[in-house]
A and B are shown apart, each in its own frame.
Chain A
Amino acid sequence: MSNPFAVWVYLSASPLLWLTLTLIVWLFADFLARAANRHPLVNPVLISIALMGGILVATGAPYQKYFEGAQFVHFLLGPATVAIAVPLVRHRALVMANLLPMAAALISGAIVACVSAVAIAAAFGAPRQVLVSIAPKSVTAGIAMAVSENLGGVPALTAVLVITTGILGAVIVTPLMNALRIKDFAARGFAVGLASHGIGTARAFAVDEVAGTFAGIAMGLNGLATSLIVPLLMRWT
């Protein structure tokens, strides 16, 4: 194959190229994050998404082709969620000692997450369909999209809002908690896992294992709480 275009045609249709690029882009973004001493603004998830999205736009490669390769990484989200059982077992004494604070924080946080998002969007004049789409924005995309669709929202819009919320929480949590002088990593982790699901949990694990463990628990519990709260909330609006 002497024609470089023919090589590109082959590669761009092959899952190998997109899987490899996803890993290399991540390694580069993670290198930047380490070099910046894990500064909250240098978020490796955000950098990777922006770079990879830019590469797709620049090459005109369709997302479906990209995902044929990237799906192998995406698939690992399931087993990685199960793997949170390991730090959970390790820190089980701390988790058991904080059951009541977690229950109270879960209920109040889940309600505030839904109600405040809907109230602010409504104040800006967003229609009901958009309000339904934003209400479950703090939980894992799978649950949020199902909740949104059931109540007449737009699942694609919900997916955008969920990922954006995840990145926002991951970027905001460290400077916010430091400004509030909160040093309890269980509480900090629980807050970021509740507010911004797995992407917040990834940030928490990068900062502290106890924070990551509590973030993982909050993420799981809020998935359940939000799927119960949003249908009730939308009945009143």
Chain B
Amino acid sequence: MIRALALLLACQLAGEIFARALGLPIPGPVIGLALLAIGVLIHARVTGADPSKIESTELGRTAGALLGSLGLLFVPAGVGVVQQLPVVGAYGLALAAALIGSTVLTLIVTVYVFLFVKRLTGKASPRGDAP
């Protein structure tokens, strides 16, 4: 578990360095995610391991434990937000309407555009063509 944690933190650290050095508006951990995925695939190609069995490795189990309780990790920041609620001030109704309306609209537009383009591209390239 310690080896897996060290690997996750090292990827995050590399991501933070990347983001800051290049002035990218992407959080370090997201760049770390990409670096780890690329690293795992290169490692699998070199050693001949099956990357689909990553779940049963030390890294896979640690990642599974972290992602299995992902919600917990938002609790400390969320508790801080409860204390900040007065900043909502006089615009509570406007903000509530905007958040609910915008979230529903965003979910609907995103999911339908995804499915629409998937159907389009699905027709364009015949099945069985993909590797």
Please tell me if the beta carbons of B52 and A140 are within 8 angstroms of each other in the complex: no
CB of A210 within 8 A of chain B? no
Contacting B at CB under 8 A, from A45-98, are 45, 48-50, 52-53, 56, 63, 66-67, 70-71, 73-74, 76-90, 92, 97-98
- A167 contact set on B, CB distance < 8 A: 78
CB of B88 within 8 A of chain A? yes
CB of A151 within 8 A of chain B? no
Contacting A at CB under 8 A, from B67-124, are 67-85, 87-88, 91, 93-95, 97-111, 113-118, 121
Nearest B residue (CB) for A186: B114
Most interface-central of B37, B81, B105, B114 (chain A CB within 10 A): B114
Residue in A73, A113, A161, A176 whose CB lies within 8 Å of B73:
A73
- A207 contact set on B, CB distance < 8 A: none
Is chain B's binding surface mostly helix, strand, loop or mixed?
A: helix
- B32 contact set on A, CB distance < 8 A: 78, 81-82
CB of B17 within 8 A of chain A? no
- Minimum CB–CB distance from B41 to chain A (whole Å) comes to 6
Please tell me if the beta carbons of A79 and B103 are within 8 angstroms of each other in the complex: no
CA distance A105 to B107 in the complex (A): 10
- B8 contact set on A, CB distance < 8 A: 79, 82-83
- What mask results when residues 29 to 57 of chain B are scored 1 for a CB within 8 Å of chain A, else 0? 11011101100110000000001101100
Tell whether A89 pairs with B75 under 8 Å between CB atoms, given A113-B102, A160-B81: no
Please tell me if the beta carbons of B12 and A78 are within 8 angstroms of each other in the complex: yes
Taking Cβ atoms with an 8 Å cutoff, the residues of A that contact B are: 22-23, 25-26, 30, 43-45, 48-50, 52-53, 56, 63, 66-67, 70-71, 73-74, 76-90, 92, 97-98, 100-102, 104-105, 108-109, 112-113, 116-118, 120-121, 124-126, 130, 134, 137-138, 140-143, 146, 154, 156-157, 159-161, 163-169, 172-173, 176-177, 180, 182, 184, 186-188, 190-192, 194-196, 198-199, 201-203, 205-206, 212, 216, 218-220, 223-224, 227-228
19 residue pairs of the A-B complex, CB under 8 angstroms, read: A23-B72, A45-B74, A52-B79, A53-B83, A56-B79, A70-B79, A82-B29, A85-B36, A86-B40, A86-B54, A90-B54, A105-B117, A121-B94, A160-B88, A184-B115, A194-B110, A203-B71, A205-B67, A220-B33
